[in-house]
Structure 1
Amino acid sequence: MIGFHEGELAVQEKAGVAFDAARLEGMLRPASLDGGAQKFLAQRDFVAITARDGDGRLWTSGMAGLPGFLSSSGSTLTIGTAPGPGDPLHGVPAWQPVGVLVIDLALRRRVRINGELVRSTDGELEIAAEQAYGNCPQYIHPHEVTQPASTLPVVTDGSLGEAATALIEGADTFFLGTAHPTRGADTSHKGGEPGFVRIDGGDLWWPDFPGNNMFNSLGNIAVDPTASLLFLDFSTGTALHLSGTATIDWNAGGETGRAVRFHPTRSVLNSWS
């Protein structure tokens, strides 16, 4: 289905950018991963994916590999690895919507690919893409991807311990996963100066900076509050996965007047794949 869904349209209207957003609707046309997109994917070494585990809980995970571990043909994306043991998406079920973000944190380039996970094994994921489009380099902070050693996860009920708090408070980058009941999942990159994500009691919140006016993430949240966050320590390979719910604050002040508040209900602290 081509076009913005009802949540995206409502947020665009409330933010006063409906006219500008309408000019970008063509980016939502059916995906093609040939040509320049195919070359870009083949040269990357990191991907983030948002999907649901076997219990239906939404998570976002990161995977690293040598250039070439991502390949594409037509509208099919193949990821030559899968979330490992200890990752909340280990053994991720196939035949579900997924949101993929392929990002080069050194070159500050990214491509969002949304579609359906049609095959899932211990060493490979295959995605039938429905949308694929690039995003601007704004707010991307350069990082080198680390290949971490595997460690056992620490699973909690969503409360934030000392290590998780330190990772969040020092982060200049995180990944946000959202979903729509009929239009699938999405993974987006969020960046700012270290400390732009604040902890308030047991919740997190961050300002919503100006972007491309499409409002894919906020549009999903407006319809379905289910959300997931992924924080990475690129120097150690430590990953913090949070699953919970998000809401939009339209009276937050700041540059846009918008902020997102996230309430974690489950967390996993481990090393990413």
Structure 2
Amino acid sequence: MTRAYHQGSRAVQDQVGVRELADHVGRSITPVIKDVAADFLARQPFLVVGAADAAGRMWASVLTGPPGFLRARGTGTLAVAGGLPAGDPLTGALATDGTAVGTIALDPRTRRRMRLNGTLTAAPGGGGFTVDAEQVFANCPKYLQKRQPLKLEPQGPGVVRQGDALTAAQQRAVRAADTFFVATTAADGVDASHRGGNPGFVQVRGAHELAWPDYAGNSMFLTLGNLAADPRAGLLFPHWETGAQLQLTGRARTEFAPDGARTVVFTVESVVESLPAGRLLWSTPEYSPANPHLGSTTR
């Protein structure tokens, strides 16, 4: 991922007509972890990681720890202490040298976020890993809900349900979500990104299909570009108040309407629901003022 964009992202940028803007924004993508980014990482209590499992399925997972469990080593490496909860689909991938990963650190307290993508090296003896940075960049605060941390819950049963379709309760949880994370991939690496909106912005079309509007962003189209090149995707729906997690893997495609609106359609292939130990509990949200009213279109 030494270049900002691959052919998939370029195709979407051209279709939407934002290549010049994307070129301007893309100059912010570098392989360097600057001091401000290192300071931001050191203060975060969780990190979302996207990768493919041994079967090639994409997942998004979350690691938690006390501030300081993320730290920059020099300007080119992110060190992560600790590991994933038992039963997480990416446990094996994050213990395998050479795994391509995309990460996103998001601070609900300040509505700030940054992404770091690269290649993983497992720590000797387990208990963490490092990522050699290939892309490092910040994103704007659009569609981020503001929350305050409440406590760390040390106990939890772990994985409570696995399946190949969404249960009725899981469908209700998705409809109520105001935030999820999405992991995608292409030939040059993996990316993890954030999607947010008012509850109901993710449509449940059945036990095997979800859809959501692609709201206006920074014009990079990294996620949609990856999907244009490779339909595999992993979704993570956190339930902030309880710390429960819903992880989905499947395939996604983007539908472009004549009026310019974009909708991503996701087909569910596998589901993992968990209530892990060491999960963070957060306050109810203050919704982003950028969230479109449901039913409106943002291009």
Amino acid at match of 1:36: V
- Give, in angstroms, the shift of residue 91 of structure 1: 3.0
- Give, in angstroms, the shift of residue 241 of structure 1: 0.3
Amino acid at match of 2:88: D
- Give, in angstroms, the shift of residue 143 of structure 1: 2.6
Instruction: Give 5+ residue unaligned stretches, structure 1.
Output: none
Q: Cα deviation per residue 1:71-94 (whole Å; 9 max; x = unaligned)?
A: 002210011121121211123233
Aligned to 1:9: 10
Amino acid at match of 2:137: Y
- 1:123–1:20: structure 2 CA closer, same or farther, 3 Å change rule? same
State yes or no: 1:184 paired with 2:189.
yes
- Give, in angstroms, the shift of residue 155 of structure 1: 4.6
State yes or no: 1:130 paired with 2:134.
yes
Moved more, 54-63 or 237-246: 54-63
Q: How does 1:212-223 map to 2 (within 5 A)?
A: 212-223=218-229
Counterpart of 1:161 (choices 160, 167, 191) is 167
- In 2, the alpha carbon distance for the partners of 1:91 and 1:143 equals 31
- In 2, the alpha carbon distance for the partners of 1:240 and 1:24 equals 32
- In 2, the alpha carbon distance for the partners of 1:47 and 1:216 equals 19
Moved more, 10-19 or 118-127: 118-127
Amino acid at match of 1:20: L
Counterpart of 2:264 (choices 260, 263, 267) is 260
- 1:97–1:52: structure 2 CA closer, same or farther, 3 Å change rule? same
- Give, in angstroms, the shift of residue 57 of structure 1: 1.8
Amino acid at match of 2:102: G
Identity over aligned residues, as a percent? Answer: 36
- Is this contact kept in 2: 1:80–1:125, CA < 8 A? yes
Instruction: Give 5+ residue unaligned stretches, structure 2.
Output: 279-299
Amino acid at match of 2:191: D
Q: Cα deviation per residue 1:65-116 (whole Å; 9 max; x = unaligned)?
A: 1111100022100111211212111232331110000110111000000000
- 1:252–1:64: structure 2 CA closer, same or farther, 3 Å change rule? farther
Secondary structure, aligned partner of 1:23: helix
Count the aligned residue pairs: 269
Q: Cα deviation per residue 1:26-73 (whole Å; 9 max; x = unaligned)?
A: 1233x2224111111111111100012233221100112111110002
- Normalised by the length of structure 2, the TM-score is 0.86
Moved more, 142-151 or 47-56: 142-151
- Give, in angstroms, the shift of residue 208 of structure 1: 0.4
Aligned to 2:25: 24
